[in-house]
């Protein structure tokens, strides 16, 4: 009896942890899907400039060969944003250290383990607008007391450069890619997930990091990425033994096609299929982003959902993009894609008809903010700034000839392109390894070592 009670308590704890994990990640996923359309546009622009058709091209940084630019020991610079991820500019910074550090730049100083330092814009440490903070031992950590994340005050390994920025400060964390990934994977996928799913996530995250190293989009700010959903979430959850293991087990492995790292898109939950990048109106669809049947997610709450809009609520969302529309006669789905995403939706008014293109724009117009979404398990959640997905049908609500609104019946959460994180979790539960998971979601890819890319 005692053993049975213990097992029940253990199972409840595991269930509670998964529930907490999922709640934590839904807010981040809501923010993440706001950024995917921008990423796809960037990929389109990158493809249009190539003379040889490749899905991704690594550009060596100045003074480096291509092989050096993708070395497994490559260092990445991460811009750390403010509490709400709204800005790169911090009013001031305060940190404490675990292990000894050295400050170099203007007034040099040693910082002893346990010591707390406050940095203002007029601090004497600055020389020519910046200074460095370097650990004396590799595993030392610096905790930013002036920044709050999901875990509380985040702790970081590696070195830092602090810049005078406007009326405040900018801070960049510099560390090896493999160390960086230890802070990314638990912030992008619950650490309670199956190990093979975590390994698949680690490979996707590493691939994405190497793509960003090549693009170097934040070089004017002294970084390649920031720590938000604009790139990959970093150190929101802190490191974890299980995700550390997943990163270590896949060390240096990245997804490639034709010898180049791919855009390894991923999302939360499928509706039964994944999509190609046609959902972002890709003019040259990536060969590795195929549509696959994915029923592994079918027990997930977001696999099916519904939300009801009144006519006035719909009109408010429509007018955010089309202020000239003052009334709605009807909505209609004009085109669906290979994975069943709505690619074009018609808005009919008494004076005009508008065709809305692109899954992101459609989801933005149909944002259920302030409404309740009912999921397939009966749970009811608050709507956000985007419709959960573009995989939906429309049920018209009328009283006689008068349009009263629509109920949207949908499935899945996220853009639906690439790897389904919950699909990966269920595949792992069924005994699939991370390589099988990746090969299932990405077409014709190979696992290469980062240091072996030509």
pLDDT-derived band of residue 25, with 50, 70 and 90 as boundaries?
Answer: low
Distance CA 178, CA 205 (A): 10
Residue 150 and residue 112 share a domain: yes
Asked if residue 157 is part of any domain, the answer here is: yes
Segments of 130-272 assigned E as strands: 130-135, 141-144, 155-156, 159-165, 168-176, 225-226, 253-257, 260-261, 266-267
pLDDT-derived band of residue 38, with 50, 70 and 90 as boundaries?
Answer: very low
**Whether pLDDT at 15 is above 60:** no
Single out the residue of 396, 322, 312 nearest to residue 365, CA to CA.
Answer: 322
Residue 450 and residue 399 share a domain: no
Single out the residue of 163, 385, 184 nearest to residue 266, CA to CA.
Answer: 184
Q: What is the pLDDT of residue 1?
A: 52
pLDDT-derived band of residue 92, with 50, 70 and 90 as boundaries?
Answer: very high
**Whether pLDDT at 368 is above 60:** yes
Give the list of residues 6+ apart from residue 443 with CB closer than 8 angstroms, or none: 287, 288, 289, 290
Distance CA 415, CA 167 (A): 38
Residue 201 and residue 135 share a domain: yes
Q: What is the pLDDT of residues 415-428, one digit of tens each?
A: 999 999 999 999 99
Residue 308 and residue 213 share a domain: no
Give the list of residues 6+ apart from residue 230 with CB closer than 8 angstroms, or none: 35
pTM of the model: 0.85
Residue 255 and residue 192 share a domain: yes
Neighbours of 413 (CB within 10 A): 29
Q: What is the pLDDT of residue 346?
A: 98
**Whether pLDDT at 125 is above 50:** yes
Between 418 and 49, whose confidence is greater?
Answer: 418
Counting the structural domains of the chain, the total is 2
Q: Which domain holds residue 395?
A: 301-410
Looking at 175-310, list the stretches that DSSP marks H as alpha helix, in order from N- to C-terminal side: 177-188, 195-215, 241-249
Query: Taking residues 366-379, what's their average pLDDT?
Result: 97
Residues 66, 58: contact at Cβ < 8 Å? Answer: yes
Residue 369 and residue 336 share a domain: yes
Percent of the chain whose pLDDT exceeds 90: 80
Residue 196 and residue 152 share a domain: yes
Q: What is the pLDDT of residues 178-199, one digit of tens each?
A: 999 999 999 999 999 999 999 9
pLDDT-derived band of residue 308, with 50, 70 and 90 as boundaries?
Answer: very high
Residue 406 and residue 429 share a domain: no
Tokens 């009013």 correspond to 91
Residue 438 and residue 377 share a domain: no
Q: What is the pLDDT of residues 203-252, one digit of tens each?
A: 999 999 999 999 999 999 999 999 999 999 999 998 999 999 999 999 99
């Amino acid at each position: 009896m005692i053993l049975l009670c213990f097992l029940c308590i253990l199972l409840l704890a595991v269930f509670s942890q998964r529930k907490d994990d999922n709640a934590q990640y839904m807010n981040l996923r809501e923010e993440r899907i706001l950024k995917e359309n921008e990423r796809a546009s960037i990929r389109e622009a990158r493809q249009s400039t190539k003379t040889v058709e490749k899905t991704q091209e690594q550009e060596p940084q100045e003074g480096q060969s291509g092989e050096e630019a993708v070395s497994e020991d490559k260092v990445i610079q991460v811009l750390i944003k403010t509490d709400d991820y709204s800005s790169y500019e911090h009013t001031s910074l305060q940190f404490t250290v675990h292990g000894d550090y050295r400050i170099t730049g203007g007034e040099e100083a040693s910082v002893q383990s346990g010591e707390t330092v406050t940095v203002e814009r007029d601090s004497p440490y600055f020389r020519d607008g910046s200074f460095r903070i370097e650990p004396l031992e590799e595993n030392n950590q610096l905790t930013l007391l002036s920044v709050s994340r999901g875990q509380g005050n985040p702790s970081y390994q590696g070195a830092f450069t602090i810049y005078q920025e406007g009326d405040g400060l900018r801070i960049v964390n510099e560390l090896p890619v493999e160390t960086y990934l230890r802070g990314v994977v638990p912030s992008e996928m619950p650490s309670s997930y199956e190990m093979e799913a975590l390994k698949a996530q680690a490979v996707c995250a590493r691939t994405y990091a190497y793509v960003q190293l090549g693009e170097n989009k934040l070089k004017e700010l002294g970084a390649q990425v920031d720590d938000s959903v604009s790139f990959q979430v970093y150190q929101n959850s802190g490191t974890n033994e299980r995700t550390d293991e997943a990163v270590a087990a896949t060390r240096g492995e990245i997804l490639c096609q034709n010898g180049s790292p791919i855009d390894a898109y991923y999302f939360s939950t499928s509706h039964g299929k994944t999509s190609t990048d046609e959902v972002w109106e890709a003019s040259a669809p990536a060969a590795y982003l195929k549509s696959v049947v994915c029923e592994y997610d079918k027990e997930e709450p977001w696999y099916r959902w519904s939300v009801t809009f009144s006519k006035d609520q719909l009109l408010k969302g429509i007018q955010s993009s089309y202020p000239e529309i003052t009334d709605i006669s009807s909505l209609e789905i004009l085109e669906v894609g290979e994975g069943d995403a709505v690619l074009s939706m018609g808005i009919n008014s008494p004076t005009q008809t508008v065709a809305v293109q692109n899954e992101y724009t459609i989801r933005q117009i149909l944002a259920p903010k302030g409404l309740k979404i009912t999921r397939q398990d009966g749970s009811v959640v608050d709507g956000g700034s985007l419709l959960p997905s573009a995989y939906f049908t429309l049920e018209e609500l009328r009283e006689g000839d008068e349009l009263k609104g629509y109920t949207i019946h949908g499935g899945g959460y996220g853009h639906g392109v690439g790897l389904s994180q919950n699909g990966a979790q269920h595949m792992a539960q069924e005994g699939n390894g991370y390589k099988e998971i990746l090969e299932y979601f990405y077409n014709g890819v190979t696992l290469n070592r980062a240091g072996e890319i030509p």
